[in-house]
Amino acid sequence: MSTQDDQTHAVSEQETEGPAAPIILFFIIGFAASLVLGWGIFPKLLYSQKHQPINFNHALHVEEVDDGCESCHYFREDGSFSGIPNLESCMECHEDVIGVSEEEEKFVAEFVVPEREVSWLVYSRQPDCVYFSHAPHVIAGKMACVECHGHIGESDHARVYEENRFTGYSRDIWGKNIAGLAKHPWERMKMDDCSKCHVRENVNQGSVQTQKGGCFVCHK
């Protein structure tokens, strides 16, 4: 028994005789690579880049209409919010080409003439498990569009829509910053952002119907 132990000991000593690999180096390589992967490559892999069917110019439209955002994004009679206008609303003005832009020409040819709804990509669409209503915010809370949606009304082009390959929702929900940091409300629209404002403004934390707080206010 003792002989065998001696031999084993001898062999292991022999192995460590060569130049020792710097363990710390490998640790640093692993550490650095994962940082590059997590901060740099992962966000690029996670989101696909999509373009709107029509490169919409908000700034131009806002100049032309009388009623600001509400000219197109209005509350319906039943209190629900119209969101992105449907083709019928667009056609109130664009039954024919009325301007000089190529995008408008394309819009009329591809959508108006064949009466095909435009499949707009909605940057701010919350997942279906979230119940969100504009009315309490805009009508009761008297919030301006810009408070949540930022200066979208001033943009002269439709920016790239980044779709989460996993969930199918827009990157705007999590925010451009992959760390989830945001300065303004329109840079991130996660649950914590909702509750942060609700707490700060001391608004009703419970459901209007049940007077109960918690999950069921938004997750019905």
Partner 1 sequence: MKIDRRSFLALAVGGAAGTALTPLPWKLTDDSSIWSQNWPWTPVPEKGENSYAFTSCTLCPGGCGLMVRMVGERAVKIEGLEGHPVNDGGVCVLGLSGLQLLYGSTRVKTPLKRVGKRGQGHWKKISWEAALAEVAEKLGQLRDDNQSHTVACITGSKHGTIPALFKRFMTVYGSPNVMTTPSVGDTLEMALQVMHGVEAQAGYDVENADYILSFGSGLIEGWGAPVRMFRANSAWRENGTKVVQVEPRLSNTAAKSDQWIPINPGTEAALAMGIAHVMMKESLVNNDFVESYTEGYTGWKKMVLDEYAPEKVASITGIDKMVIVKVAREFAGAGKPLALCGRGNGETPGSLAEAMAVHTVNALVGNINQEGGVVAVPIPEYAAWPETGLDNTAQIGMAKDRVDGAGSDAFPLAASLLNRFAAGAMSAKDYPVNALLVSGTNPVYSTPGANDFKKAVEKIPFVVSFSSYMDETAMQADLILPNHVYLERYEDIPVMAGLQKPMVELTQPVVFPMHDTKNAGDAIIELSNAMGGSIGDAFPWESYEACLEETLGDKWDVLSEDGLWEDEAFQPAGWGEAFATASGKFEFMNPDMDLMPSYVPLNLEGNASTFPLLLMPFDSMRLASGFISDPPFVIKAVEDTILKGKDACVEVNPATAKSLGLADGKPATLSTPKGEARVRIYHYHGIMPGVVAIPRGLGHSADDKYMAGKGVNFNELIGPVEDRASGLDMAWGVRAKLAKA
Q: Of 49-57, 140-148, 153-161, 171-179, which segment contacts partner 1 by CB under 8 A?
A: 171-179
For residue 156, which of 51, 60, 54 has the smallest C-alpha distance?
Answer: 60
Closest to partner 1 by CB, 47 vs 107, is 47
Rounded to an integer, what distance in angstroms lies between the CA atom of residue 135 and that of residue 110?
33
Rule CB under 8 A: say whether 87 interacts with partner 1.
no
Is position 208 an interface residue for partner 1 (rule: CB under 8 A)?
A: no
Residues in the chain: 220
181 close to 175: Cβ distance less than 8 angstroms: yes
Distance CA 165, CA 153 (A): 27
Write out the binding residues for partner 1, residues 1-20 only, by CB under 8 A.
18-20
- Check residue 174 for interaction with partner 1 (CB under 8 A): yes
Q: Check residue 216 for interaction with partner 1 (CB under 8 A).
A: no
Q: What is the DSSP letter of 12?
A: H
Q: How far is the CB of 105 from partner 1 (least distance, A)?
A: 26
Q: How far is the CB of 3 from partner 1 (least distance, A)?
A: 27
Strand partners, 49: 162
Tell whether residue 56 is a contact of partner 1 (CB under 8 A): no
Closest by Cα among 67, 58, 75 to 159: 58
Q: Is 48 left (phi over 0), alpha (psi -120 to 50) or beta?
A: beta
Q: How far is the CB of 142 from partner 1 (least distance, A)?
A: 24
The DSSP letter of residue 185 is G
Name the residue nearer to partner 1 (CB basis): 141 or 180.
180
Kindly list the residues in this chain that would bind partner 1 in the complex (CB under 8 A): 18-35, 37-39, 42-43, 46, 76, 78, 80, 82-83, 86, 127-129, 164, 166-169, 174, 178-180
